[in-house]
Chains A and B, each alone.
Chain A
Amino acid sequence: MSLAEKVLQGEIRAAARLMRDIDDGLKSAIAELKQLYPKTGNAFIVGITGPPGAGKSTLVDQVTAAYRSRGKRVGIVAVDPTSPFTGGAILGDRIRMNRHADDDGVFIRSLATRGHLGGISRSTGDVVNVMDAMGMDVVIIETVGVGQDEIDIVRMAHTTVVVMVPGLGDDIQAIKAGILEIGDLFVVNKADRDDADRTVRDLAIMLEMNPDKDRGWRPKVLKTEASRNRGIEELVAELEAHREYLHSSGTIARVLEEKSASLFMDVLKERLFEEVYGHIHVNGRFRAIMEEMMARRTDPYTAVEEILAERFGIGGS
């Protein structure tokens, strides 16, 4: 039996192994993903993002418990940063979710970014697809602690939740672009803090100033105290409300098309690059180009044009 067949039968170890193969970039994983792709598209994919220390993992843990009590199976992909110096990583999001560790209805996978910027890893989309094909009803993606513009999550999730905490910065911060533009829902966690209400107000004002990217849905700002399990039911209700809205308004079609486009383009870019670079890397051409460039006998634009002309017969002067 192939890994994909085992995954479809619900075998945890096979799924975990396939996720590893995907993460490590093994060619064999592609055949498996091809088999699984037709079985994807059923899970509700929720993105949880926000700055470091906002309490994302604790929130994921509580939302998971809430969905479990509704009888849903939950997959979680938790992403943490890879050290740019050593290539290693400490993946510690699971700590906050340990009570689900031996629940058969929950599958938690930790991924390291491995140099990918944007808040998630290159493998995240495919790993989510494996969980989807396995039969998870909800898949929650927890990004790394993000700053302003790591917003890959938007292309991957149906509903994106931005988690903030009180006191992170002054009002100006709220106006900057990036994560504050992408949320379908905003949560102010650790809402027991003094400045929580102010943060909620600041966010609400800033959201009012956003041009309506989507007239039918106005993102709400919710308050939670994840560690005390407060505000979680309201959050899940809003998640479900957004999911309902996506379907009833037909917006889901655009969301799905964007997801498909983004997945297709990622794969295309990667394969094209491999095709060209792999070839010249192996036959010494790359080294030769580097020497030419350093001696200023050629420039990168001409070098690339020449390679492309040879490889694909395009361009040319």
Chain B
Amino acid sequence: MADRKLRVLVGKPGLDGHDRGAKIIARAFRDAGFEVIYTGLHQTPEQIVSAAIQEDVDCIGLSILSGAHNTLLPRVSDILKEKKADDIVFFAGGVIPADDIPGLKAAGVREVFTPGTSTEDIVGWVRENVRPRA
């Protein structure tokens, strides 16, 4: 009875309109037994963090295929810190060049999943690295 369900926010920041990847991940998370707050397209970093806080999620997974990751992802990280919500694990996926990943991790993105990563691996990573709140 006191077994926490893992809650994940999945969304897409910025102008990127390709949501198939995000939808596939959302389904995979649902199939893994998580509750997925799917916020869809065209989110501002402020909207994403606000939703994450209201929904008390354990982690945030953002999909970006537009190339704007170096701007948008650190911005999400900054707002999480501002709102004292940086205990929420933040990861990303999409078309993100390997060279950019260290910078993103330094900015607070815990992991970046590039094209070709299997949904099993992503689900596995979440299970390993994200604990529902104690």
Which residues of A does B touch, CB under 8 Å?
12-13, 16-17, 19-20, 23-27, 82-83, 86-92, 94-95, 98, 101-102, 107-110, 112, 114, 274
Contact = CB atoms under 8 A, between A and B. Distances in A.
A16 B50 CA distance: 11
Nearest to B41: A95
Nearest to A85: B31
Contacts, number: 95
Given A13-B85, A20-B56, A98-B39, A88 B47 contact: no
Contact of A90 (B30, B50, B56, B133): B30
Interface residues of B, number: 36
Interface string B34-65: 11111110111011101101111000000000
A26 B51 CA distance: 23
A118 B104 CA distance: 45
Interface stretch (B2-10, B70-78, B92-100, B107-115): B2-10
B30 A17 contact: no
Contacts of A87: 5, 33
Contacts of B56: 13, 16-17, 19-20
A132 to B, nearest CB: 16
B50 to A, nearest CB: 5
B108 to A, nearest CB: 18
18 contacts: A12-B53, A12-B54, A16-B54, A16-B55, A82-B35, A83-B30, A88-B30, A88-B32, A90-B27, A91-B35, A94-B51, A95-B38, A95-B39, A101-B46, A101-B50, A102-B44, A102-B46, A109-B54
Nearest to A98: B47
Given A86-B33, A98-B43, A26 B54 contact: no
A109 B55 contact: yes
A108 B55 CA distance: 8
B54 A86 contact: no
B1 interface: yes
A88 B54 contact: no
B91 to A, nearest CB: 18
Nearest to B38: A92
Contacts of B43: 98, 101
B38 A24 contact: no
Given A13-B85, A16-B54, A109-B54, A92 B32 contact: no
A13 B51 CA distance: 11
A83 B33 CA distance: 8
A86 B32 contact: yes
Contact of A86 (B2, B31, B38, B133): B31
B55 A110 contact: yes
Nearest to B51: A101
B89 interface: no
Given A98-B47, A110-B55, A89 B30 contact: yes
Given A25-B1, A98-B40, A90 B54 contact: no
Contacts of B30: 83, 86, 88-90
A76 to B, nearest CB: 10
Contact of A101 (B33, B47, B83): B47
Given A25-B2, A90-B26, A108 B54 contact: yes
B51 A24 contact: no
B42 to A, nearest CB: 8
A107 B54 CA distance: 7
A213 B29 CA distance: 45
Nearest to B1: A25
B85 A24 contact: no
A164 B56 CA distance: 32
A29 to B, nearest CB: 10
Contacts of A24: 2-5
A31 to B, nearest CB: 14
Contacts of A95: 38-40
A108 B27 CA distance: 22
Contacts of A86: 30-33
Contacts of B44: 102
Contact of A17 (B5, B36, B39, B133): B133
Contact of B31 (A26, A88, A108, A110): A88
